Amino acid sequence: MAFRCFSSLGAGKNTLVFRQLFDCVSSTYTYLLGDATTKKCILIDPVLELARRDFQLIKELNLKLIYAVNTHMHADHITGSGHLKRLSGCKSIISKHSGAEADILVTEGDYIDFGNHKLRVLNTPGHTNGCCTFCFEEHGMAFTGDALLIRGCGRTDFQEGDAATLYNSVHQKIFALPDQTLLYPAHDYNGLTVTTVDEEKRLNPRLTKSLHDFVHIMDNLKLGYPKQIDKALPANKVCGLYNLPEELKDGLS
């Protein structure tokens, strides 16, 4: 099992615990956000095979997991939400527009609270209907899922992908955040970890183009289908509410 773990932040009364965790198989970032005062924490986009790693870290940091949050219904890996529910008793969260089931369904304007902190939910569809960006305004951070990747964006050629919708989501919602907002994506395929609104407004090779040119780019990406899509989509549609089939339990403890 290969994984990396980066960075922590925080000072002051409402101390934030922050970790950026990586799955080398699907190049997925999982984010641990915790409140050192109340000990409550959440995970954004946990990966099934690394749920035990994430839970172990949470225990080591003396935190209590309350939510396994999903930016959307991923096609390239199975969410760790279900396994984490069994390990920790947390609840699963996903957008009400995702078509997936979860303990809690959210939409634009909702807040996800953990202790003294809260994330504001923005609907940023286009890669899928249920894609959300979670804004952490207090710390000038946002978790963009697959809507905006560093110098890229989520593909729009399956699920409910729609390039024009994605373009509008990024321009009207994500690029409307303050320029210095730190943007944390759900994936990176080039070893990068974080970007800013300002950087992507200036440097994103797709999203600096006109809508017309963006749609043309997205229609011609010619990416191979994600290797795990056939098992990921059915499993993620229930977002950890039910027991995993036996064949998906290999290697889990």
Ligand X SMILES: N[C@@H](CCC(=O)N[C@@H](CSS)C(=O)NCC(=O)O)C(=O)O
Alpha-carbon distance of 132 to 145, in angstroms, equals 7
CB of residue 71 to ligand X, shortest distance in Å:
11
Ranges within 147-166 binding ligand X (CB under 6 A): 152, 154-155
Alpha-carbon distance of 73 to 188, in angstroms, equals 17
Instruction: Report the sign of the C-alpha dihedral through residues 126, 132, 135, 136, in that order.
Output: negative
| Cβ proximity to ligand X, 11 vs 223, nearer residue | 223
State which of residues 187, 188, 200, 248 lies at the interface with ligand X (CB under 6 A): 187
CB of residue 31 to ligand X, shortest distance in Å:
16
Give me the 85-114 binding string for ligand X, x by CB under 6 A, dash otherwise: ------------------------------
| Cβ proximity to ligand X, 3 vs 57, nearer residue | 3
Residue-wise over 165-175: b if at least 16 C-beta within 10 A, else e? Answer: bbbebbeebbb
Alpha-carbon distance of 112 to 120, in angstroms, equals 7
- Amino acid sitting at position 198: D
CB of residue 151 to ligand X, shortest distance in Å:
9
Alpha-carbon distance of 93 to 90, in angstroms, equals 10
- The two tokens of residue 85 are 């529910």
Alpha-carbon distance of 66 to 103, in angstroms, equals 12
- Residue 223 as a binder of ligand X (CB under 6 A): the answer is yes
Ranges within 8-47 binding ligand X (CB under 6 A): 26
CB of residue 56 to ligand X, shortest distance in Å:
25
* Residues 6+ away with beta carbon under 8 Å from 115: 14, 34, 35, 37, 38, 39, 40
| Cβ proximity to ligand X, 55 vs 167, nearer residue | 167
| Cβ proximity to ligand X, 32 vs 232, nearer residue | 232
- Residue 49 as a binder of ligand X (CB under 6 A): the answer is no
State which of residues 75, 122, 132, 182 lies at the interface with ligand X (CB under 6 A): 75
96's enclosing H/E stretch is none
State which of residues 35, 45, 76, 200 lies at the interface with ligand X (CB under 6 A): 76
- Residue 72 as a binder of ligand X (CB under 6 A): the answer is no
Which residues of this protein are in contact with ligand X, per CB under 6 A? 26, 75-76, 146, 152, 154-155, 187, 189, 223, 226-228
